[in-house]
Amino acid sequence: MAPPVKKVVAKPAAPAKAASGGSKKKSPLPKAAKKLLAHATTRPLWSRIRKTALRKKVAPSTLLKKKPNFVEKQIGGEKNGGKRKVRVKKERKFYPTENQPRRRRTGHVTFKTHKRVYKAGIEAGRVVIVLAGRHKGKRVVVLKTLPSGLLLVTGPHAVNGCPIRRMHQKFTIVTSTKLDISGVKIPDTIGDKTFRRPRGDTKAHKSKKTEGGDIFETKAEGYKPSEQRKKDQVVVDKQLVEVIRKNKDKKLLFSYLGSYFQLRNNIFPHKLRF
């Protein structure tokens, strides 16, 4: 007879330990706590709430609940029976009578230190069209850009009567015409200070009374350029005229700078190429 076969009984498997060393799963955070942890500015607030909850021996989620502004309370009495809303949160009682001025920031950027951004094509020697002012419609030559952000332009005065003056770039149209004024020397006396009007001297603004006539008859004083400004105008005009004469299209340039820009019928500025 064959020997009896022994039955092998499998041992029960041991309970699997948690991957984290048998620690319990952490309870999920409430939505309010997730909002606090999502931003770096409110993240430290959640740690304070947890410390407060440990001290009071309560769950942190209970401290995140918003308290209502009003609570209904039962009012007793014969004539005061019923429910009424009672405010829980205190209202703001202090309101400033005036708007408090903002404190000036450290390292404030002044107008002098602003970055100057000019239109495409604006450079020394470029011909632009003036759109506003006494000389609107004239074509002038850009001499240079000033520290104030304005353009220093001139006609020249000998060609179209436009003297050396400052002009804002938004009142100009940039053209494709350009002169080579690399050899033109602009006097150092021409700058932003040259075009400033006297403010402190009140006598310069007041009109003079006529002698031997009615005391109410007055004559307003007109603006007169200084002698230095007249000399600088002559120096710059002489150099610019020589530059135009050396150009091969000198006749066309003289007539171009001496003419006015104007629009006629069926001429649309957005379709023109200047």
Q: Which domains does the chain have, with CATH numbers?
A: 33-61 (no CATH), 126-195+224-271 (2.30.30.770)
Work out the average pLDDT over 89-112. 74
Which pLDDT tens digit goes with each residue over 258-269? 999 988 898 888
Q: What percent of the chain has pLDDT over 70?
A: 80
- Per-residue confidence band for 252, with pLDDT thresholds at 50, 70 and 90: very high
| pTM (two decimals) | 0.55
Q: What is the pLDDT of residue 139?
A: 95
Predicted pLDDT of residue 18? 47
Query: Please, are residues 176 and 221 in contact by the beta-carbon 8 Å criterion?
Result: no
pLDDT at 235 exceeding the cut of 50: yes
Count of C-beta atoms within a 10 Å radius of residue 168:
13
Q: Encode 227-250: b = buried (16+ Cβ within 10 Å), e = exposed.
A: eebeebbeebbeebeebbeeeeee
Indicate the burial class of 144 (C-beta count within 10 angstroms; 0-12, 13-18, 19 or more).
middle
- What's the pLDDT score for residue 166? 93
Compute the average pLDDT of residues 83-99: 77
User: Are 141 and 181 within 8 A, CB to CB?
Assistant: yes
35-81 pLDDT, tens per residue? 778 888 888 888 888 888 888 888 887 777 777 788 888 888 777 77
Average pLDDT over residues 119-147: 93
Q: Which comes out higher in pLDDT, residue 82 or 182?
A: 182
Hey, what amino acid is at 93?
K
Could you tell me what percent of the chain has a pLDDT over 90? Answer: 37
Average the pLDDT over 210-237 and give the result. 76
The CA-atom distances, in angstroms, between 129 and each of 38, 53, 169, 254, 265 are: 56, 74, 10, 15, 20
Token representation of residue 38: 């999502």
* pLDDT grade for 130, boundaries at 50, 70 and 90: very high
Q: Which of 157 and 2 is assigned the larger pLDDT? A: 157
